[in-house]
Structure 1
């Protein structure tokens, strides 16, 4: 067979496609191209994931729709005004609770309304006991619709905590002598009159025998208008001594039992004189309606009135 010729049954080999003198493309190169595309796809996926993370991190938790409990506002609540139940409250805007502007969290929505925005007062009765106070909230500066809400500060101090002087009046809180105005004051202040040991619907529900006096909230619609006051502050109880009440316009005033100003020691506060303890030698009766109208006493020294009466008999 001549060199390069075809033997019997053989077919001629066709020349490979391509440009003479250049290396031929191989399947390996195609595989590398596929691999590169695959790697490129992975890069794209990673970039998309990173973008998603950025979007989530930079996203806002600004709520939408009506104002609701557990949302946040841009004001914190501190003590202000003369009454804890009817005092000026701040106007505030709703913000996301993760925002740097968030200062308080809404604990309850009391009511919604619409109108001008400015100086106003509203009752915070009906707020949860741990609320620091109330606020009137809008969702934007241009909104005329508002919501009256109860609020607890995101950070302390909390005026609504027992004895701190703000929020709802309840057990552990103190009131001033201006009980007609239901003024709550911090128990650390010098002018607190009585400490609340219970808040009830009727005087008969006050805990006995710890309740010495009662005071009533001014709101006729309040479901628990009666404040039960225990001994302490200006409220006298068994073991306390009192000054001469002859010409006192401030009511009974306490005195150190070892002081000459003390004229009597309280032995009990009861409903009828027959309930006075055995060591009592006198009693005083309230001129006005009182929770416990009889004050049982053991006299330490004569009052000015008794001394003057004795002079008149000589």
Structure 2
């Protein structure tokens, strides 16, 4: 029978000397920082217990899944124990991958892999995925580690807990200020926590000291902009766009990220309006997990008629970037991109 552990429970367990290791771990979650942290702790504990070899495979539905079983059959000349580290970024192994994972779980359950520790990392498992045969086989055999999602509302508490780990304390107002300053970016928050640990001794740190140490650390990328656009967060989208411009990000790359999503949404909206297979269209475009949820929410929020104009607006901004004039548009492509983002984030179905 499978077991369950939360992220903190796993870390605490692995910190114990010679903590017993399960033969199979399934690490599931959408916070990449915390997934990496859990995997690192598992690798460290495994190495301390003699798992000196490691095979890492990054897999999806199109991968050669025979490599997985091949890795379980390779015997070290020196009798070393092995960590088999499987990553499924999409969470969709496909038919062959699903059958392979079922067979792998069977091997673990029967005790056929006494010198192999298996770790499978993948996004958060939704209800449909949990009911798949391969997922059921893994969950009934291994230890499931569920990595929490840290949203903006829970980030101050998470920062406080991490500060406490290094013996430091911040008041509630400073925690909220710090969460705002990193714009909800968990990695940025983690780096600033480490910085405070280096700059200040254990104990309570004043708000002024934190403000002097933590400058404008909001680190943006084009995918943050895409996510804000899909969520209908106009203020956040414009803040990220301003930050990207200040950081010297390439405007063509930003337009590509936003425009590619807009073109996909236009195709999905057309399929939806004609009674087509929206789910199938998403699969063909390799859309899964949180991104799929974001696209569906956007389709439910923005009227279908808006997408054709948004696609045209994207093409017009591309012309502005190339130095061409477009009647009716501003000369500054950054300003027009801001208008495009507002078009998507503010528009609502009536």
Q: Same fold (TM over 0.5)?
A: no
TM-score, structure 2 length as denominator?
0.22
TM-score, structure 1 length as denominator?
0.24
**Structure 1 or 2: more helix by fraction:** 2
**Structure 1 or 2: more strand by fraction:** 1
Choose between structure 1 and 2 for higher RCO, CA contacts under 8 A separated by at least 6 residues: 2
